[in-house]
Amino acid sequence: MSQDLKPETLALHAGWRADPATGAVAVPIYQTTSYQFHDTQHAADLFALRELGNVYTRLGNPTTDVLEQRVAALDGGVAALALASGQAASAFAVQNLARAGDNIVSGTDLYGGTWNLFANTLKDQGLEVRFVDPSDPDAFRAATDARTRAYYIETLPNPKLVVPPIAEIAAAGREVGVPLVVDNTAAPLLCRPLEHGAAVVVYSATKYLGGHGTSIGGIIVDGGNFDWEAHAERQPALNTPDPSYHGAVWTQATKPLGPVAYIIKARTTLLRDVGAALSPFNAFLLLQGIETAPLRVARHCENAAAVARWLSRRAGVKKTIHPSLQTGAARERADRYLRGGHGGLVGFELAGAEEGRKFIDSLKLLYHVANIGDARSLAIHPATTTHSQLSAEEQRATGVTPGYVRLSIGIEHIDDILADLDQALAAATGLAEAA
């Protein structure tokens, strides 16, 4: 399918027309573990990667394949790999390049689960993550050494909601053969990181892509825009014989298939060995969500901007955090990288932890959950939940003050959202709406 089609069209059509066997227009759920080979030659060709096709659902599945093609098309990538969760996508994106003794450089502003993965689990595996200020491309340069295999940032990290200089960080990496991985979970459709020089995009599809809050899933998109071969020394994982696949050198073995060495290696080694496969049923559900994602994301943005405006004038609210309220370089980057809206996340600060908790406990419409990106509006008090394992000082460094409340604004009618916020704020602060 032509990648010139607009996102609204790709979200409905990319990767699928109709079932060749039945003519079914909806993508069928191919609920099968295995696939009958035509003959022994066919089986041997599939295993040797001389031909791409279905072998076993841990490695790939026709329903999941449509999801992968659709998200790759939306991001302008060449191929994608769907996984059981966003966490698996983040882990594989890094482990596909970096081994024990190697390092990556990551921005500090990360989802807590990614932080733990990087600071503890990957560290235990001998893979060092060097954390730097995500707004400073020179900090990425300075932390790079001969064993640095990738840079990692989030497009719109909460709670600070400050967009990093994606193009400058990507360019710093490209100078020395280091690809940039961008977690675009909070800004699908708004930002296409590959257009700004990123080489790989990861998603928790659990969030805005699915939107329905029914399915956990993750996706890695390969931009096909990074010359791994030109940086053979820097990227040994893709340029030296892989003993786990009869000595294949991934940049060479995948050449007939296009610039897909990175994603094929992730599928044929990490997914094969670790097994974080997405179920076909969840792939189907995520596809249902993606069909309407462009409409939803637009409404998320519209409602969130209205909530931010309203909160910024509301008595008892010390500070409101949303890109539309930023100034200076942060605002310029938000406008440059987020096209069509500033996302659905809004933060605000009340006087202290007690007010924050009281606000959450007073909500009637908004759900009190740890998720973001659901079609429904959601809220949480990070200091006592998502960030409770951090010290007060660490919390502050990540942007979480005791009175901080995180909202993920949904697609309900804005009047109903504001009415619920209003009554919960009045209960928490004892103050009615300001003039």
Residue 113 Cβ vs ligand PLP, minimum distance, rounded to whole Å: 5
Closer to ligand PLP by Cβ: residue 113 or 236: 113
Neighbouring residues of 117: CB distance < 8 A, sequence distance ≥ 6: 87, 90, 91
Closest residue to ligand PLP, judged by C-beta, is 86
Residue 262 Cβ vs ligand PLP, minimum distance, rounded to whole Å: 19
The encoded tokens of residue 256 equal 């007939």
Which residue(s) pair with 195 in the sheet? Answer: none
Task: Produce one character per residue of 359-385: b if its CB has 16 or more CB atoms within 10 Å, e if not.
Answer: bbebbebbeeeeebbbbbbbbbbbbeb
The encoded tokens of residue 215 equal 């399915």
Starting at the edge strand that comes first in sequence, how are the strands of the sheet with 319-321 ordered?
A: 319-321, 345-349, 404-408, 378-380, 367-368
Residue 343 Cβ vs ligand PLP, minimum distance, rounded to whole Å: 11
Are the beta carbons of 286 and 215 closer than 8 angstroms? yes
Closer to ligand PLP by Cβ: residue 222 or 355: 222
Burial of 67 (0-12, 13-18, 19+ CB in 10 A): buried
Closer to ligand PLP by Cβ: residue 14 or 161: 161
- Enclosing H/E stretch for 427: helix 414-429
Residue 204 Cβ vs ligand PLP, minimum distance, rounded to whole Å: 3
Residue 236 Cβ vs ligand PLP, minimum distance, rounded to whole Å: 27
Closer to ligand PLP by Cβ: residue 103 or 204: 204
Residue 184 Cβ vs ligand PLP, minimum distance, rounded to whole Å: 9
Half-sphere exposure of 234 (CA within 13 A, CB side): 20
Closer to ligand PLP by Cβ: residue 208 or 228: 208
Residue 92 Cβ vs ligand PLP, minimum distance, rounded to whole Å: 12
CA nearest neighbour of 205 among 29, 64, 314, 99: 64
Closer to ligand PLP by Cβ: residue 64 or 251: 64
Residue 383 Cβ vs ligand PLP, minimum distance, rounded to whole Å: 17
C-alpha 74/C-alpha 364 separation (Å) is 36
Closer to ligand PLP by Cβ: residue 154 or 349: 154
- 8 in helix, strand or coil? helix
Closer to ligand PLP by Cβ: residue 282 or 401: 282
Strand ranges, E, within 60-194: 79-83, 103-107, 128-132, 148-154, 180-183
The encoded tokens of residue 35 equal 């696939």
Residue 385 Cβ vs ligand PLP, minimum distance, rounded to whole Å: 12
The encoded tokens of residue 210 equal 């699915």
C-alpha 114/C-alpha 86 separation (Å) is 9
Closer to ligand PLP by Cβ: residue 61 or 215: 215
| DSSP string over 58-72 | TT--HHHHHHHHHHH
Enumerate binding residues for ligand PLP (CB under 6 A). Answer: 85-87, 90, 111, 113-114, 154, 183, 185-186, 204, 206, 216, 218, 372
CA nearest neighbour of 421 among 67, 196, 431: 431
Residue 186 Cβ vs ligand PLP, minimum distance, rounded to whole Å: 6
Closer to ligand PLP by Cβ: residue 141 or 342: 342
